[in-house]
Amino acid sequence: MTTKYNYLYNGNNLLNQGKAEINENVFDNYWEILPIEKTQITEDKINLKLKKEQSASLFVQSEKKAVLAIQKHAMNIAGKEKNPQMDEAYFLLGESRYYDQRFIPSLEAFNYILFKYPTSELVNKAKIWREKINAKQNYNQLAIENLKEIESRGRLSNEEIVISCESEDVLITFTVDDFTSKVKSNKKKTILDSALDNDIDAPYSCNGGVCGSCIGKLTKGEVKMLNNTVLSESEITDGLILACQAIAISDEVDVDFDDV
Ligand code: FES
């Protein structure tokens, strides 16, 4: 309780503030390859540079909270950790260092979770973050292969699949009634929600994956369906998706609701 509501709680708050500052101040350029996260800020704009420094200091502070949680509350008895929240503390440590762009120390924190807490609920997330670090260091092929292996074991929850997406932003092109529109959205939203949030008249009814009203054709990019009791394997192979169940896993996705 003490760890959770003091060092960890405050550390996570600081981390989230830092991430929010970055999200507010960095805009993706869709003409260039997008970064994994919004951590790269244009250095020649002084105000943005200052914001970056503020965010960085928030990440340093959240890292300090994680270190304090570990130092003050770790209960290593006969080689076994007895404090069930220590994996969370190491995760906060890894994330803070990652956003502070110190990737090797960040990797050490995630590796420690995998080594020390193999039954932790955070193991899959730690593995995914490890691959994000690989990608950050341009070991893209290695990261892709390792992520595929993690997913092929079928142990990822939907939330973890979303986390494994390289960037949270997605550019979606919708075609409805011969009208095409592009919207910037978030990969955590379903394709249908992205359409409705942008006043695009996409077809739907149940919004629960059972009626089939929201079927569209994926003509570009990749999606993952959270649930599917409507489409057959061959229809999926032909590119059909349930928009109310599909989340984007590539940075660009085109969906045509006319071509079904
Ligand atoms: S709206 Fe019914 S299946 Fe998507």
Q: 216 CB less than 6 Å from ligand 1? A: no
Question: Within this chain, do residues 78 and 111 fall inside the same structural domain, yes or no?
Answer: yes
| Residue 51 and residue 122 in one domain | yes
Range picked from 8-12, 124-128, 179-183 for highest mean pLDDT: 179-183
Q: Tens digit of pLDDT for each residue in 199-250?
A: 999 999 988 888 999 999 999 998 988 888 899 989 999 999 999 999 998 8
User: Which of residues 80 and 198 earns the better pLDDT score?
Assistant: 198
- The predicted-structure confidence for 49-91, as pLDDT tens digits, reads as follows 555 566 668 999 999 999 998 888 766 655 565 666 788 999 9
Residue 43 has pLDDT above 50, yes or no: no
Cβ of 215 less than 6 Å from ligand 1: no
pLDDT of residue 42: 47
CB of 212 closer than 6 A to ligand 1? yes
Same domain, 74 and 113: yes
Q: Would you give the distance in Å from CA 88 to the centre of its chain?
A: 17
Question: Using CA atoms, how far apart are residues 106 and 61, in angstroms rounded to an integer?
Answer: 15
Residue 212 shares a structural domain with residue 130: no
- Residue that finishes a domain, picked among 153, 185, 211: 153
- Same domain for 107 and 23: yes
Domain assignment present for residue 163? The answer is no
pLDDT at 1: 46
Calculate mean pLDDT across residues 145-149. 79
Residues 243, 193 within the same domain: yes
CATH assignment at residue 194: 3.10.20.30
At 162 the pLDDT is 55
pLDDT at 182: 93
Whether 64 and 148 map to the same domain: the answer is yes
Residue that terminates a domain, selected from 153, 184, 209: 153
Mutate to test the pocket of ligand 1, among 194, 223, 244 (most ligand atoms within 8 A of CB): 244
Residue 32 domain flag: yes
Could you tell me where the DSSP H helices lie in the chain? 2-3, 9-25, 46-73, 86-99, 103-116, 123-136, 140-152, 158-164, 191-197, 233-237
Domain co-membership, 83 together with 142: yes
CATH code: domain of residue 31: 1.25.40
How many Å lie between the centroid of ligand 1 and the Cα of residue 196?
13
- Tell me how many domains the chain contains: 2
For residues 51 and 104, membership in a common domain is answered with: yes
Question: Which residue among 153, 180, 214 closes a domain?
Answer: 153
- Tell me which residue range forms the domain holding 34: 2-153
Q: How confident is the model at residue 47 (pLDDT cuts 50, 70, 90)?
A: low
What's the gap in Å between 57 CA and the centre of ligand 1?
45
pLDDT for position 27: 56
pLDDT value at position 207?
87
Which ligand 1 atom is at minimum distance from the Cα of 212? 3
Q: Is any atom of ligand 1 closer than 6 Å to the C-beta of 242?
A: yes
- Same domain? For 10 and 136 the reply is yes
8 A C-beta contact, residue 235 and residue 150: no
Determine the distance separating the centroid of ligand 1 and the alpha carbon of 166, expressed in angstroms.
Answer: 27
